[in-house]
Structure 1
Amino acid sequence: MRRRKFLATTAALLSVPFSGCSDPSGRLSLENVDDDETLARRYAQTDDQLDDDEQRILDDAVAGDEPELNGSQPHFEEGPYDQRAPVAHAGSYYNVSHEVVETYQYARYGVGLDLNPPEDFSPSEGAIAVADLPPVDRDVVAGFFPISDDHPESDGADVFHMGTYSPAEEAESVLVPDPEYDAVTRDGATYPVEIDDGGSVEINRYRYETTRVAATHAEMAARVRERYLFTLADLPEDEREIMREAVQSGRYVTEETPSQAFVDLLDRFRPHRPLQGDGEDYGTWLVAFDGTVYLADVTAPLNTPASESG
């Protein structure tokens, strides 16, 4: 029987969005991904894109456990390209799935500090050192420090941080819902505390499992090529020149009004499935050119004339 591990946290979802959009100038960027490992790892989520919770989920699930994690959204919902892209782990590639096993209502509070209190301020309910706060309060308050030199200065609390509290954490807290102290101290300074009720938020308990989809870099790369790869061949010389420049320098940028050759070259990408993007104004494609496979980031210029090829 597989063990179940519970990881109590509300960490945010990792997301790696595509940054392309229409630009006054058209752009074509090429990245050589001819090598199996390069293509496979470029397509998948990798260790450097995972936070600590995601790494623990992956390690435990691959080992045969069923790790569980609290959060407002599940992890591993998006990859660098397609949603639910596989995750690389020790040379193999896995899909990560989840199910909701329980739902809770957590309380949210805005915890604010007055970073420039009046000189004659004296806490009426007492003060507590930041280091002496219960962990759930300390995690929220510690985010105020070190204090920025350009922090806002106003009457009352200058900055608020939102804290999310489970029922057990609320019972442990000395700041919410009814503060036992109205100030905190750190490095010899005293800061008034203000608490705002932020309502409630639904937190799910997710259980994660993995399914291996490729045992090697070569197998993963083959799956990606089968799904996305197309070849640019028999190009007119002016379009070949654009591709050659992008190969040599890594990118090609048009004038504000692009050449007809660039417009026609862009039209050769559009019928094919992009890894990311709308496939019209921008996108990332997997393309073979002169025997080498590239990831091509293409952005259509705003002033695109009518194509002569379509």
Structure 2
Amino acid sequence: MDAAGSCWQLITGVGTLTAVVLLLEMLYWIGKNLFVYILAEPLGFTVPFAKLGEWAVITGATDGIGKAYAFDLARRGCNIILISRSEEKLQKVAKEIESVHGVKTKIIVANFSHVEGVYEHIKRELDGLEIGVLVNNVGVTYPNPEFLADLPGGTEFLNAMINCNVLSQTHMTSIVLPGMLARRSGAVISLSSACGDIPIPLLSVYSATKAYNDFLSRALQQEYADRGLIFQSVLPWIVSTNMTNNARLSFLVLDAKLYARACLNTVGFFTRTHGHPAHALQNWLLKNFFPSRLSQHLIKSHCIRSRDKAHRKMKAKTR
């Protein structure tokens, strides 16, 4: 056999091996996801959250994903501590949870966009309570995609975003950790974003804060791997909430209740998850079948179109 034939055989062999590896990875991914998302809860293999501690704490708990987490943890038997900035909304959600699920609730009013006095207040309110679950959900994003130099609100807006997205998860985790470590029991679930996995232009600061959330959770999982605690980073794509302008539901755009329930079923199986098979599939396809330059170009083009659309709406309102 000549050199060209040998080279072709090598190329064919490598291609076949690569295809087999990809097929096996896909079959493993499908099998694990089928078990986690479909079979684990009916068969009783999900984490018994109510046994981790008497109370579950959820930040940003009056709307969207946070509210959905609160209801589903209550469904699983946890007493619920709701933290958000609107006392009226907190009281309404607390009454709904008590009425539907018959668990105890507690509310704490806190504005995570600020720093001074916020965490001292929360720490006092949580003192002496057995916290088994913390859901670090609270977060804010841009009003619409925008270049950093053109962001409205300047330093005040950026500080508020960093306070809410970065400092909240850091301080809330540090508040509940001592009690969890003393009992060697607890779960800290931190909402990051797909924007924290893939840098998103025109959402640059938001994207960076979500990357921080993801890295903090992953580092803490390693830090306390032998201490009986669970840390999970959740990286959703689009979920229909106020933050996403209540995007129309589709195969890839998920309802918050459905999403939170799916996410909770993954705790203990995945330390880092996109939360739902539709979002996991979206991420897998993007990373494996789209060259990075192409995906970056498509994402930036989409963000610029969204920015231009928002600008046109604002101009129309001022006419």
> Is the pair's TM-score, using the shorter chain for normalization, greater than 0.5?
no
More strand by share: 1
Give TM class, smaller chain. Answer: under 0.3
Query: Which structure has the larger Rg over C-alpha atoms?
Result: 1
Superposition TM-score, scaled by structure 1 size:
0.21
More helix by share: 2
Superposition TM-score, scaled by structure 2 size:
0.21
Q: Which has the higher contact order (CA 8 A, sep 6+)?
A: 1
